Structure 1
Amino acid sequence: MICRYNETTDSPACSSAFCPGNGDYLRLRFSRKDLYYSYYMSDDETILSNFKTVDTSISLTARLSTYRGTISDSCLGEDALIYYEVNYTYSISSELVAFSTKDILEVGIAERSNVDKYSDAGASASGWSFNMFYGGVWFSHTQVVYISARHNGSSTTSKRLFTTYAGEQFHGQLKIFINTRRNEFTVMHDDLKVYVFEDVKSNKMLCPVFGVYNPDHVNVQLKILNSFNFSMYPW
């Protein structure tokens, strides 16, 4: 079951029309309140960016001061099986020298009470994240983009995705599966599995989180697309 932040799995509200767990379609959205104070979001809360676009604006109610992104408007219960898609667009504006890296974006899960203690969810023992980042190459203007799985401050895996150049715009899609009955968190990049986190659990409320980084070096935009809740089906 999936519940809004101010609900619990035992509350009447969570078993009524207010809980998206009652339907197959999960209207997952970003939160304008739980947004990094200098970042931008669309009015319908489906687009997050680290720069101003025609679709996004500053949120006057934004209250995050450390985490470079936002928290989902829905959090996870004990028997959640949810799926959602996130489209990303980014353009690198500055080149990096070899062996230096900059984060681009993140999709993750973290204890809600600890999200704003870290700039990225994977830095915490109570956070799990998939992060895209880029770095420079020796004697080249090429920038290499990677994706890694992070937890408790370390990367579990790091995969090279593609090469790019400053000024080139890239588009792609991340598909996210969260299974709290099996304590698993999976991400696919353009239909290829990146990694499966196991033993993803906490005695506190876990929520999806979304990060966009380094606006001085890269312009990033995330958009939530299809989101579905399969928790009510036998599995």
Structure 2
Amino acid sequence: MSAPQDRCRLVLIVPANDDAANQAKTLEDALRGGDVASVIIPQYGLDDATFQKLTEVLVPIVQEAGAAALVAGDSRAASRSKADGLHVVGNAQALAEAVENFAPKLIVGGGNADDRHKALEQGESNPDYMFFGKLEGDIKPEAHSKNLALGEWWASMIEIPAIVMGGSDIASALAVSETGVEFVALRQAVFGYAGGPAQAVAEANALLDEKAPRFGG
């Protein structure tokens, strides 16, 4: 995950899909839409073997587009698919173990912190990023207010970059950017967009280009 340009950048979360070929095509479409820093690939309900096959299809698509491919949960699938990183959903201990075992060879980040204390505990292992929210947490149009508040607090205090989960509406990306965090994660806002995922990514980037606060003056 390269450093932000001068504003909050997009992180895409691949939605669940029973058809891997369809999932790959949808992801390719989204990445054609413009700047994406990274893509998180969750396991959802897939068994390990099926998930590994899926990551082997999706990871190269992400990397060819110039984004970082982050596999959620399964370190073996991350390694075997030559992903750029591992997204840890567990607690502080799970994150610390992943950092110890896989960094700096892989980008290692994550988060399951729903309060400041847990966030600071998870930050002690110095992951590459912290994630506020749940990968499937985009159930409302707007980003969850608690995640926005945590992101704003974190960005004002801690140098480790943060990703905040957005809502199911593209406009939620702007509210996330206004907290000062480096990245906004979108799932349904992009992959459920009526105009298609490429248009959603283009519109999200246009919105951030026009209205997101700039970093570092």
Larger radius of gyration: 1
| TM tier relative to shorter chain | under 0.3
TM-score when normalising by structure 1: 0.22
Structure showing the higher helix proportion among its residues: 2
Structure showing the higher strand proportion among its residues: 1
Question: Relative contact order: is structure 1 or structure 2 higher (C-alpha 8 Å, sep ≥ 6)?
Answer: 1
